[in-house]
Amino acid sequence: MFHDDAEQKYKIIIENVKEVCYNVSEAIEKYRKSYENVRIMAVTKTVAPELVNIAVDEGITLLGENRVQEFLEKKDMYRKQAEVHFIGHLQTNKVKYIVNDVTMIQSVDSLKLANEINRLSAKNNKVMDVLVEINIGDELTKSGVDKHNVFSLVEQMSQLENIKVKGLMTIPPPMCDESVYDEMHKIFLELKEKELYNVDMDILSMGMSGDYVTAIKHGSNLVRIGTKLFGARNIRR
Ligand SMILES: *Cc1c(COP(=O)(O)O)cnc(C)c1O
């Protein structure tokens, strides 16, 4: 009976991966140029590693981690071909635990955090790819830099030799107007046009289970999907 339960869960995840991939291709066809690529990330918070691995086996090899402790408990159980980005709020004193195990930190929203990532990356002989997180809806409860401070933050970060700014990340407010997505896209394009030294404005990480089609419509090229792949999370977490 337990065996059947697991089998059922696996089947659902495989179906979910197919559906999300289909919807993403459809959104690209409808709203974007056919050669544009949109990466799909599987957001793993609260999900058991053996279930995460089903998505990896089905081709979603990019994983998104929110919590340092949970990631450390799970990382050795993930498939070797999985690539991990950190996407959650990151305290400066926790950078040291993840700096060698993730290929990107998407949630950089202060110079203080950028400086610490730069320091530890230098110490470990690497250059860390980062995204700057913007609080596009000006929500008090959300992390992310204020949109008016993005330009100066990116400029200051471009001076740090052991981090490389690769783009922007955001979580738009729930049920917000599409103009918010458009505003985010404009900030991304404006920064790209500046062609700052040591900055590659290539990635716009925007869109989750409820809004990824809208986000793709407005220029996103990395969508972060949890619920639509693995089902609803426990409210407790
Ligand atoms: C949880 C989370 C997601 C995924 O959310 P879903 O609505 O479950 O798809 C994406 N990005 C971040 C930063 C998250 O914390």
Q: Which residues of 68-106 are buried (b: 16+ CB within 10 A; e: fewer)?
A: bebbeebbeebeeebebbbbbbbeeebbeebbeebebbb
* Residue from 149, 118, 150 nearest 132 by CA: 150
* The two three-digit tokens of residue 235, written as one number: 């409210």
The CA distance from 177 to 205, in Å, is 18
Q: If you measure from the C-alpha of residue 159 to the centroid of ligand 1, how many angstroms do you get, rounded to a whole number?
A: 30
Q: What is the CATH number of domain 4-229?
A: 3.20.20.10
Q: What is the mean pLDDT of the chain?
A: 95
Tell me the per-residue pLDDT of 121-136, one tens digit each, with 9 for 90 and over.
999 999 999 999 999 9
Q: What atom in ligand 1 is closest to the CA of residue 233?
A: 8
Tell me the CA–centroid distance for residue 139 and ligand 1, in Å. Answer: 16
pLDDT of the residue at 236:
42
**Rounded Cα–Cα distance for residues 154 and 35 (Å):** 28
Q: Which of 45, 209, 224 to mutate to test the pocket of ligand 1 (most atoms within 8 A of CB)?
A: 224
pLDDT tens digits along 54-112: 999 999 999 999 999 999 999 999 999 999 999 999 999 999 999 999 999 999 999 99
- Out of 20, 47, 87, 214, mutate this one to test ligand 1's pocket (max ligand atoms within 8 Å of CB): namely 87
Q: Which residues pair with 105 in a beta bridge?
A: 86, 130
Q: Which of 20, 36, 16 minimizes the C-alpha distance to 220?
A: 36
Spacing of C-alpha 8 from chain mean position: 28
In sequence order, what are the residues at sequence separation of 6 or more whose Cβ sits closer than 8 angstroms to the Cβ of residue 157?
A: 108, 111, 114, 130, 132, 163, 165, 199
Question: In the chain, what are the domain boundaries?
Answer: 4-229
pLDDT on residue 196:
96
Note the pTM of the prediction, 2 decimals.
0.96
CA-45 nearest atom, ligand 1: 1
Question: Ligand 1, from 52, 66, 223: best to mutate by most atoms within 8 Å of Cβ?
Answer: 66
Residues near ligand 1 (Cβ within 6 A): 43, 45, 66, 87-88, 171, 208-210, 224-228
Cα-to-centroid distance, 177 and ligand 1 (Å): 19
